[in-house]
Amino acid sequence: MSYPWTTAWVTGASTGIGRELVEQLAAGGVRVAATARSADKLEDLSRRSPNIVAFPCDVTDRVAMSDAHKSILARFGRIDLAILNAGVWDQTPALRFDATRAAETLAVNYLGLANAVAPLIAEMVERKSGHIALVSSVAGYRGLPLAAYYGPSKAAAISLAEVLQGELPRHGVKVSLINPGFVETPMTAVNEFSMPFIIKADDAARRIIRGLRKGRFEIVFPWQMMAMTKFARLLPYPAFFWLVRNVIAVQAEPPKK
Ligand SMILES: NC(=O)c1ccc[n+]([C@@H]2O[C@H](COP(=O)([O-])OP(=O)(O)OC[C@H]3O[C@@H](n4cnc5c(N)ncnc54)[C@H](OP(=O)(O)O)[C@@H]3O)[C@@H](O)[C@H]2O)c1
Our measurement of the distance from residue 114's CA atom to the centroid of its chain's CA atoms, rounded to an integer in Å, reads: 12
> How remote is the CA of residue 10 from the centroid of ligand 1, in Å?
11
* 150 in active site: yes
Query: Residue 254 above 80 pLDDT?
Result: no
Average pLDDT (16-21) is 98
Average pLDDT (90-117) is 96
Query: Residue 255 above 60 pLDDT?
Result: no
> How remote is the CA of residue 90 from the centroid of ligand 1, in Å?
11
Residue type, 168: L
DSSP state letters, the chain: ---S-SEEEEES-SSHHHHHHHHHHHHTT-EEEEE-S-HHHHHHHHTT-TTEEE----TT-HHHHHHHHHHHHHHHS--SEEEE-------B-GGG--HHHHHHHHIIIIIHHHHHHHHHHHHHHHHT--EEEEE--GGGSS--TTBTTHHHHHHHHHHHHHHHHHHSGGGT-EEEEEEE--EESHHHHT--S--TT-EEHHHHHHHHHHHHHTT-SEEEE-HHHHHHHHHHHHS-HHHHHHHIIIIIHHHHSPPP-
Given this model, what pLDDT does residue 24 score?
Answer: 98
Residues 6+ apart with CB under 8 A from 81: 5, 7, 8, 9, 25, 30, 130, 131, 133, 212
Which residue has the least CA distance to atom 32 on ligand 1? 58
The per-residue pLDDT for range 47-88, each reduced to its tens digit, is: 999 999 999 999 999 999 999 999 999 999 999 999 999 999
Assessment of whether the complete model's pTM goes beyond 0.95? yes
Average pLDDT, the chain: 96
CA distances from 21 to 34, 116, 208, 235 (A): 10, 18, 8, 34
CA distance 188 to 4: 31
Residue ranges lining ligand 1, Cβ < 6 Å: 11-18, 36-38, 41, 58-60, 85-89, 108, 135, 137, 180, 182-183, 185-188
> How remote is the CA of residue 237 from the centroid of ligand 1, in Å?
31
Phi-psi region of 184 (alpha: psi -120 to 50; beta: other; left: phi over 0): beta
Given this model, what pLDDT does residue 253 score?
Answer: 63
Query: Residue 204 above 50 pLDDT?
Result: yes
Of 110, 141, 149, 150, the catalytic one is 150
Given this model, what pLDDT does residue 92 score?
Answer: 86
CA distance 6 to 75: 13
Average pLDDT (111-126) is 98
Pocket test for ligand 1, best of 15, 106, 136, 160 (most atoms within 8 A of CB): 15
Nearest to 134, CA basis, from 121, 150, 119, 117:
117
CA distance 55 to 67: 10
- Report the nearest atom of ligand 1 relative to the CA of 13: 43
Average pLDDT (151-157) is 98
Which residue has the least CA distance to atom 42 on ligand 1? 12
CA distance 134 to 216: 12
